[in-house]
Amino acid sequence: MLVIGINAVRTAVRFEHGNVRELWFDQQRHDRRLNELIQLATQAGVLIKAVERAVLDQLTQRANHQGVIAWSSGASARHEHELTAQLDQIERTNQTALLLILDGVTDPHNLGACLRVADGAGAQLIITPKDNAVGLTPAVVKVASGAASTVPLIQVTNLARTIEQLKTRGIWIAGLAAEAPVSLFNADLRLPLALVLGNEERGLRRLTRSHCDLLFNLPMRGQIESLNVAVTAGICLYETVRQRGLF
């Protein structure tokens, strides 16, 4: 996996426990942030290489790499069989589950932003379907600014079956639907919870909706029908955290 940008590379070095193999930087860049990153990477045993900026431009297809890229074997989507271990870990640490399920999000920038806001709110993991959804691409990792290393992303073959598995763990499934009679701010979000969001165009699929324990809406006072899915995820996650009194 190619990791792009100062924040993403720094987080990968800190949290991926030796999976970062090489760090390349723009040989013309000299500043405190880069020097601190190189020092951190050197201490972690990462191979450091100075290259021309054109090399970085070519490798990243001229993405905003900030003069730094790295290769990591750690920032990748988790396999479906790892879900059980992740749920066991939540139970062992006596945490109240806060999961995010994204049903059909295909834009890498949206998924990256969802990872970032999930990290900020303390969500334990994100679940997405394997089909008709974006995976953990370099663009996603870049937008996530390091959260791809701190929030596990699990891709599953059958989302409905996975939801039923979560229910056996005592996790409630709350889906966002514009026509739902209950507002997000009136829903009880203090129970172990998985928030389910669809994409901006179609919302939740019918089958996914049918497996939800409750549906809620996000009140809209303007003329636009919906918000960006990452913005919506942030509102929903932080309202959950607010209700739980964690901040």
What is the structure's pLDDT at 75? 53
What is the structure's pLDDT at 92? 94
What is the structure's pLDDT at 2? 83
What is the structure's pLDDT at 78? 64
Pairing of strands 214-216, 20-26: unpaired
% of the chain exceeding 70 in pLDDT = 97
What is the structure's pLDDT at 71? 86
pLDDT band at residue 77 under the 50/70/90 scheme = low
Mean pLDDT, the chain, integer: 90
What is the structure's pLDDT at 17? 64
Judged against a pLDDT cut of 90, whether residue 74 lies above it is answered with no
pLDDT band at residue 79 under the 50/70/90 scheme = low
pTM (predicted TM-score): 0.78
The DSSP annotation for 94-135 comes to TPPPEEEEEES---HHHHHHHHHHHHHHT--EEEEESTTS--
Judged against a pLDDT cut of 90, whether residue 121 lies above it is answered with yes
What is the structure's pLDDT at 80? 76
Each residue's pLDDT tens digit, 52-62: 999 999 998 87
Judged against a pLDDT cut of 80, whether residue 228 lies above it is answered with yes
Judged against a pLDDT cut of 90, whether residue 1 lies above it is answered with no
What is the structure's pLDDT at 224? 76
pLDDT band at residue 82 under the 50/70/90 scheme = confident
pLDDT band at residue 76 under the 50/70/90 scheme = low
What is the structure's pLDDT at 7? 86
Is residue 43 within 8 A of residue 50, CB to CB? The reply is no
**Between 226 and 99, residue with greater pLDDT:** 99
Least confident of 116-125, 141-150, 154-163, 196-205: 141-150
CA distance linking residue 87 with residue 142, whole number of Å: 27
What are the start-end ranges of the E strands in 9-79? 20-26, 47-51, 68-72
Q: Which two tokens stand for residue 189?
A: 């979000």
Q: What does the pLDDT average to over 76-95?
A: 85
Domains and CATH numbers, the chain: 2-72 (3.30.1330.30), 80-243 (3.40.1280.10)
Q: Which two tokens stand for residue 210?
A: 């049918």
CB atoms within 10 A of CB 156: 21
